[in-house]
Amino acid sequence: MRREKWNKLFGNQFSQNISWVMLSNPGLVVKAKHRFLGEPKSPKEFLKESEIVFDRDYVVQYIAKKIISPLQPESYNELQKILSDAWKFYKENLQ
């Protein structure tokens, strides 16, 4: 079975929610029928099942694109303050 990293996917590469499993080795491995970059377009029913690996790189880029970018912090220190408050809320309310 073909195995590729998430960044070889065609289309929205950030459609998978992040998970702690992605920080482990080898990361989160998902079986799916999907097109990859550089492949010709074909109907989904003709695609072969592949293993897609979502790893630490995915988590880092997901956080940058989906969390940091929309917040547009002016500095790293501002981002640290936000993360500190979020960590405090997590420890007090969600753990």
Angle at the Cα of 17 from the Cα atoms of 72 and 27, rounded to 5 degrees: 110
> Omega into 40 within 30° of 0, i.e. cis?
no
pTM attached to this predicted model: 0.85
- For residue range 34-60, list pLDDT tens digits in order: 888 888 887 777 788 999 999 999 999
Categorize the per-residue pLDDT at 6 as very low, low, confident or very high, splitting at 50, 70 and 90.
Answer: very high
Q: In what order do the strands lie in the sheet with 28-33?
A: 3-5, 49-54, 28-33
**pLDDT-based confidence at 11, cuts 50/70/90?**
confident
